[in-house]
């Protein structure tokens, strides 16, 4: 009777049948609590699915007599209170699914009595306390989900006794200490997600023992230190390796190039140094390569152009130098491309226009020179373009006005661009932020910019522009969420050197001499 728009409370008259074995009422609009005498004695009820309703009351209230239950799903309701110690008497349970409720308190040690348990799903509640060591008695446990709670303490070494475990997800808690060194004894482990906790220490090399099983390893946003263990490459079925936002040091292991199945490699925001190993060119299935926020050196690898499956490439905030290879134009499926904050030089290759699927292009804060290639119009799906803080020269290509999907940002500030502002920029009607400040632009502000009806920030300051402010244009936006009055446009007039930005109309001093 699932998904039948049933409403009201569960009444005894509908379920008081001693021979009832399966009761499935999921995805309805049932309210109230679980009847206290749902399971008459003796009871044959083995499966009870009440997920996706509007039920409330103390969790497991009325169910502790249902000792024949094997599969219990109360997820997606409004149950409150703590998991009672009496839950340990439901010894026939194979599946206990209580996620997406408002359950509080700690996980009772009696949970270790449920030795037939295969699935324990408690995510997205308000659980606190630590994982009881009795959890190690659940040797049939396959799935263990605690993510998005408020639990703390260490991950008990007894967890490694749960030899059948395949999926462990503790994301978004406050677990501390180190990962048990014997975690590699879980030879069936396919998914280990521990991101956003307070874990420390080194990544256990024993994870390499999960040779044929491990597919997802996510340790993002902890405080792991030391080097990335090369033993991880023994897990040849890894598809997602996420170690970002930790304190890892050393180099990017060349052995990672042997992970031919890897699709997501995130080593961002660590203390990694050295060059990007060329062996990564063997990872032909890579879709996300995130190495940003490290101290990587060397030139930008030309072999990146051979990774035809790349959808996201982020090498920002490193110490890379050299030029952007034209080969990058071969990554035709690239959606996000960021090289911000390096020491890259030379021109932006015209082949950048071959990236027709690109949504985000961020090359700001480098030493790029030359003109912005007109071929960039080929990136007609861009909604964010950042080329600021370089040494780009020449005119702003009028072809930018053809990139009508630009929405989040067009930032060409702090370059050496000259000439007039192309009137075609007025066609970017979705654009919210336009920054052309600190260049050598001259001439009048094109009236067509008055068509930028979605604009929130328009900064044209510190140029050689002339003419009146756009705020007098009848088409210029005047709602509070857009720029208004004299603060709508940051103008640089030679006589005043006045800059006005949204939210402030007071003059500011000229920029410091370079």
pLDDT tens per residue across span 6-28: 555 777 654 555 678 888 888 88
Predicted confidence pLDDT, tens digits, the chain (514 residues): 444 455 557 776 545 556 788 888 888 878 888 887 777 766 788 999 999 999 999 999 889 988 999 999 999 999 999 999 999 999 999 999 999 999 999 999 999 999 999 999 999 999 999 999 999 999 999 999 999 999 999 999 999 999 999 999 999 999 999 999 999 999 999 999 999 999 999 999 999 998 789 999 999 999 999 999 999 988 889 999 999 999 999 999 999 999 999 999 999 999 999 999 999 999 999 999 999 999 999 999 999 999 999 999 999 999 999 999 999 999 999 999 999 999 999 999 999 999 999 999 999 999 999 999 999 999 999 999 999 999 999 999 999 999 999 999 999 999 999 999 999 999 999 999 999 999 999 999 999 999 999 999 999 999 999 876 555 555 555 443 333 223 334 443 332 222 333 333 333 333 433 3
pLDDT of residue 36: 75
Dump pLDDT digits (tens) for 364-389: 999 999 999 999 999 999 999 999 99
User: What is the structure's pLDDT at 472?
Assistant: 53
Of 370, 362, 307, 321, whose CA–CA distance to 339 is shortest?
362
| Fold designation for 1-177 | 3.80.10
- Angle at the Cα of 350 (from 345 to 351), degrees rounded to 5? 105
The whole-number pLDDT of residue 76 equals 95
| The two three-digit tokens of residue 265, written as one number | 């490699």
Stated as kind and residue range, the H or E segment containing 15 is: helix 12-15
Residue with tokens 């049948």: 17
> Rounded CA gap, 180 and 247, in Å?
19
Beta strands 119-121 and 47-49: pairing type? Answer: unpaired
The DSSP code for 12 is: H
The pair of three-digit structure tokens given for residue 217, joined into one six-digit string: 């390893």
């Amino acid at each position: 009777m699932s998904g039948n728009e049933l409403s009201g409370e569960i009444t005894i008259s509908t379920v008081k049948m001693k021979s009832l074995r399966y009761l499935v009422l999921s995805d309805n609009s049932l309210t109230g609590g679980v009847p206290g005498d749902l399971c008459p004695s003796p009871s044959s009820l083995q499966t009870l699915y009440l997920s996706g309703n509007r039920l409330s009351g103390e969790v497991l209230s009325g169910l502790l007599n249902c000792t024949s239950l094997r599969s219990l799903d109360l997820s997606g309701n409004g149950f409150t209170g703590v998991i009672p110690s009496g839950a340990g008497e439901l010894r026939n349970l194979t599946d206990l699914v209580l996620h997406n409720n408002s359950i509080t308190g700690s996980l009772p040690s009696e949970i270790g009595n449920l030795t037939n348990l295969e699935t324990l799903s408690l995510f997205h509640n308000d659980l606190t306390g630590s994982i009881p060591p009795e959890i190690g008695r659940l040797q049939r446990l396959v799935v263990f989900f605690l993510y998005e709670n408020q639990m703390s303490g260490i991950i008990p070494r007894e967890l490694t006794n749960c030899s059948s475990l395949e999926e462990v997800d503790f994301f978004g808690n406050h677990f501390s200490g180190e990962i048990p060194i014997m975690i590699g004894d879980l030879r069936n482990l396919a998914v280990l997600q521990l991101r956003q906790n307070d874990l420390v220490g080194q990544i256990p090399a024993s994870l390499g023992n999960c040779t044929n099983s491990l597919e997802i390893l996510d340790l993002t946003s902890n405080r792991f230190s030391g080097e990335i263990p090369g033993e991880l490459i023994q897990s040849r079925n890894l598809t997602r390796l996420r170690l970002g936002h930790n304190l890892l040091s050393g180099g990017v292991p060349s052995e990672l190039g042997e992970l031919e199945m890897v699709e997501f490699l995130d080593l961002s925001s660590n203390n990694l140094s050295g060059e990007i190993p060329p062996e990564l060119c063997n990872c032909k299935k890579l879709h996300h390569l995130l190495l940003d926020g490290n101290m990587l050196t060397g030139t930008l690898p030309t072999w990146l152009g051979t990774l035809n499956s790349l959808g996201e490439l982020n090498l920002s905030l490193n110490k890379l130098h050299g030029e952007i290879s034209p080969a990058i134009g071969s990554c035709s499926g690239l959606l996000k491309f960021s090289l911000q904050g390096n020491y890259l030089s030379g021109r932006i290759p015209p082949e950048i226009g071959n990236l027709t699927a690109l949504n985000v292009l961020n090359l700001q804060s480098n030493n790029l020179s030359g003109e912005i290639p007109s071929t960039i119009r080929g990136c007609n799906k861009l909604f964010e373009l950042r080329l600021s803080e370089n040494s780009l020269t020449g005119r702003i290509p009028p072809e930018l006005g053809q990139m009508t999907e630009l929405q989040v940002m067009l930032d060409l500030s702090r370059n050496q661009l000259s000439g007039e502002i192309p009137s075609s920029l007025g066609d970017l009607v979705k654009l919210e932020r336009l920054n052309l400040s600190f260049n050598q632009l001259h001439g009048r502000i094109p009236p067509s910019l008055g068509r930028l009806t979605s604009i929130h920030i328009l900064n044209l300051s510190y140029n050689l522009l002339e003419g009146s402010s756009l705020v007098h244009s009848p088409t210029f936006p005047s709602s509070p969420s857009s720029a208004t009055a004299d603060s709508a446009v940051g103008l640089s007039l030679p006589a005043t050197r006045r800059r006005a930005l949204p939210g402030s109309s007071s003059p500011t001093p000229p920029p410091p001499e370079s």
